[in-house]
Each structure stands twice: as structure tokens, then as C-alpha cells.
């Protein structure tokens, strides 16, 4: 399962569960109510999880390639319900996710915490982009994007004469066109300045969605790529966050 801070709740992909059930009959509980598994227990590595309810949603028509020894099958999403009211420590260089009740003292010695907006399990981080204050929606499911913003902002941040690279992205079975433009801008976040090599805008998102985000003061979205050299600390209980270069 992928950890996706852009999803306010965890869910399992029905097509993958059907494939598991076909190969291992009885492995998936049959107790479902309104498209949800009830009292479903599983382990995320060594962490035992009991979900009173977990949504089951059709993702696509793919099954599971049981013959592939090296392939990774994603069978669902772990959302921010897992870290709600807790502290999430995402150590990107060491590929570790730690969930605790408080921020460890060893991290607090070298890190200053800043406020962030935590609403309806969505994580909104205050930032400065080229000295302009705005808010970025943190979506760890959008791993490839340093900065996902609107077309106008993306062009303002672009290097002179830079040409967009175009490619398709899949959003729940709907294909959109992404335009990525090289940049030498910076993002100031949690008192740390991080250079961004590119910004991206996407065609296919409605003007009303962009306008609504703009009215809320949201200047775009960022994913994992921005933080690959850092430890990101998110205290969802106290609405505090911090960044620390990898120890």
C-alpha cells in the first residue's frame, strides 16, 4: 500500500483484493458493508493496524502478476487517517516512516517547528516562492512533482527560453497532460530554502478548481520530490511541522 497524504482516508483496490481472494480463498473477509471492509486487520511492516472500516474501491481492471519476483503490487492506499492526531516523521533518505505521539527530542535539538494548516485531514504548508508567500497542498501521492501549480505561475518561474516537457499522467483512470518547465527558483519552507529544478502545470483540471484553490490562498501542490534530501516532521495534533537535513 502506498502512503498518500493527499487521501484523507485509507482504501483498498477491489481489483487487487479479487486477485488475492482468487489465489488464496478466505484470505479476505467477506464482511463488507456499503463498499467497506469492517474490522479488517493487517500489518504495515511491523505495525499492526485494525481498521474498523476501510473503503474498497475499484481502481482499474488489473490483476496481480504472481510470477514476477521483483515486481511491487500496490493493493491500496494508506491515507492521513493513519497519522491523524499523531506525529509522522518521514525520513526520505533512509526510506523510513515513523509514527509517534510526540516529536523526538533528538530531532528538536536541530529543528524549528512552524505552523501549518491541517483541515479535514489535508496538509497545507505555508511557503515562499521567489519571496512570494503562498500555501502548498502536500500530496505524497504526487511523488514526481517538486511544484505543481497553475500555468501562469509555472511560466513566471521558468528559465529563459525553457520549453515544456509534455507527458500523460493517470488520475484515477483519467489521463491528463502535464507540462514540466525547467526552473532555477527556490521554495522557502520551514525556515529552509530548497532549490526547485522544475515546475509543472496540468491541462485537464477545470478552471473552477484552480479558481477555488486560488481563493483559498493555495498556490499549488508539492509531493515527495521536494523533500528527498530531508526529514519531514508533521505534528497533526498541534499543527506544527519542520524540516531537517538527513542525519
Backbone angles phi, psi at 101, to 5 degrees: -85, -25
Do residues 233 and 123 touch, judged by C-beta distance below 8 A?
no
Same structural domain for residues 134 and 187?
yes
How many Cβ atoms from other residues are within 10 Å of residue 1's Cβ?
18
Read off the C-alpha cell for 238: 498541534
Residues spanned by the domain of 51: 2-78
Last residue in a domain, options 78, 111, 141: 78
What domain count does the chain have?
A: 2
The 10s digit of each residue's pLDDT in 43-58 is: 888 888 888 899 999 8
The low-confidence residues of the chain, meaning pLDDT below 50, are none
Same structural domain for residues 150 and 58?
no
User: What gap in Å lies between CA 187 and CA 131, rounded to an integer?
Assistant: 8
Read off the C-alpha cell for 36: 467497506
Do residues 12 and 57 touch, judged by C-beta distance below 8 A?
yes
The pLDDT of residue 205: 66
Same structural domain for residues 117 and 7?
no
Alpha helices in 169-245 (DSSP H): 207-215
> Considering only CA atoms, which of 245, 244, 234 is closest in space to residue 121?
234
Question: CB neighbours of 29 closer than 8 A, spacing ≥ 6?
Answer: 37, 38, 39, 40
Same structural domain for residues 144 and 98?
yes
Report strand pairing: 192-203 vs 165-171: unpaired
**Residue that has been written with the C-alpha cell 504495515 in this structure:** 44
How distant is the alpha carbon of residue 98 from its chain centre?
15
Question: DSSP code of 159?
Answer: P
CATH code for the domain in which residue 168 is found = 2.40.70.10
The pLDDT of residue 119: 93
Same structural domain for residues 26 and 8?
yes
SS3 206: coil
Last residue in a domain, options 18, 45, 78: 78
Amino acid at each position: 500500500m502506498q502512503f498518500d497524504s493527499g487521501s484523507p482516508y485509507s482504501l483498498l483496490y477491489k481489483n487487487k483484493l479479487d486477485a488475492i481472494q482468487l489465489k488464496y480463498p478466505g484470505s479476505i473477509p467477506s464482511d463488507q458493508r456499503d463498499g467497506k471492509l469492517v474490522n479488517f486487520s493487517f500489518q504495515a511492516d511491523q505495525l499492526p493496524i485494525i481498521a474498523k472500516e476501510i473503503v474498497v474501491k475499484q481502481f482499474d481492471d488489473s490483476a496481480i502478476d504472481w510470477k514476477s519476483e521483483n515486481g511491487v503490487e500496490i493493493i491500496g492506499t494508506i491515507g492521513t487517517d493513519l497519522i491523524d492526531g499523531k506525529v509522522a516523521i518521514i525520513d526520505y533518505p533512509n526510506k523510513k516512516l515513523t509514527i509517534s505521539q510526540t516529536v523526538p527530542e533528538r530531532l528538536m535539538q536541530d529543528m524549528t517547528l512552524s505552523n501549518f494548516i491541517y483541515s479535514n485531514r489535508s496538509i497545507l504548508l505555508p511557503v515562499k516562492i521567489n519571496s512570494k508567500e503562498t500555501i502548498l497542498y502536500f500530496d505524497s501521492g504526487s511523488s514526481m512533482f517538486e511544484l505543481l501549480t497553475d500555468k501562469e505561475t509555472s511560466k513566471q518561474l521558468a528559465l529563459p527560453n525553457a520549453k515544456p516537457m509534455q507527458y500523460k499522467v493517470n488520475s484515477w483512470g483519467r489521463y491528463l497532460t502535464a507540462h514540466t518547465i525547467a526552473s532555477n527558483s527556490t521554495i522557502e519552507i520551514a525556515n529552509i530554502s530548497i532549490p526547485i529544478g522544475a515546475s509543472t502545470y496540468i491541462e485537464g483540471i477545470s478552471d473552477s478548481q484552480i479558481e477555488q484553490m486560488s481563493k483559498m490562498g493555495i498556490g499549488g501542490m508539492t509531493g515527495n520530490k521536494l523533500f528527498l534530501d530531508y526529514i519531514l516532521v508533521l505534528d497533526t495534533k498541534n499543527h506544527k511541522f519542520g524540516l531537517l537535513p538527513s542525519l
